[in-house]
Amino acid sequence: MARLYFSLFLISLLISCAPSKTAKPTNTSKVHIIEILASQFEPSDVTVDSGDVVKWINRDSAAHQLAGFYGNKFQSGILGYGESVSRSFEKSTSYVCIIHPEMLGVVRVR
């Protein structure tokens, strides 16, 4: 029952998320890679500097769709194998795969 309420809570948060824009690194920003493999984010917890770019690459045979909440709201399109999405961060955020809500990750901004 708790999982159902959590899923409904996530869905309601995600409805208010605007689609994300692809981030382009600046001269001083770094790009941090997060791979999606075996229905997991690797790494699932990453610390970046403000303005850094996080790039998720789907290396999984399953499709995934990301959404951020608690700090930076964003939503990606559906990512097939080999596809990626990038986003820069000014604030820390948690994110989830909309298709597989058990997949959670965190981007911490120092």
Q: Are 53 and 46 in contact (CB under 8 A)?
A: no
**Digit-coded pLDDT (tens) for 23-46:** 555 567 899 999 999 999 999 999
The answer to whether the CB of 52 falls within 8 A of the CB of 86 is no
Predicted confidence at residue 3, as pLDDT, reads: 57
CA atoms 1, 106, 39, 9: torsion sign: positive
Residue 56 pLDDT more than 80?
yes
Give φ, ψ of 85 to 5 degrees.
-145, 145
Q: Where are the domains of the chain?
A: 2-109
Q: pLDDT tens-digit profile of 65-94?
A: 999 987 778 999 999 999 999 999 999 999
CATH of 2-109, one of 1.20.120.450, 3.40.50.300, 2.60.40.420, 2.140.10.10: 2.60.40.420
Q: 36 with 59: CB under 8 angstroms?
A: yes
> Is the omega angle on the peptide bond into residue 25 within 30 degrees of 0, that is, cis?
no
Q: Are 14 and 67 in contact (CB under 8 A)?
A: yes
pTM: 0.76
Percent of the chain with pLDDT over 90: 69
Residue 23 pLDDT: 52
pLDDT at 13: 43
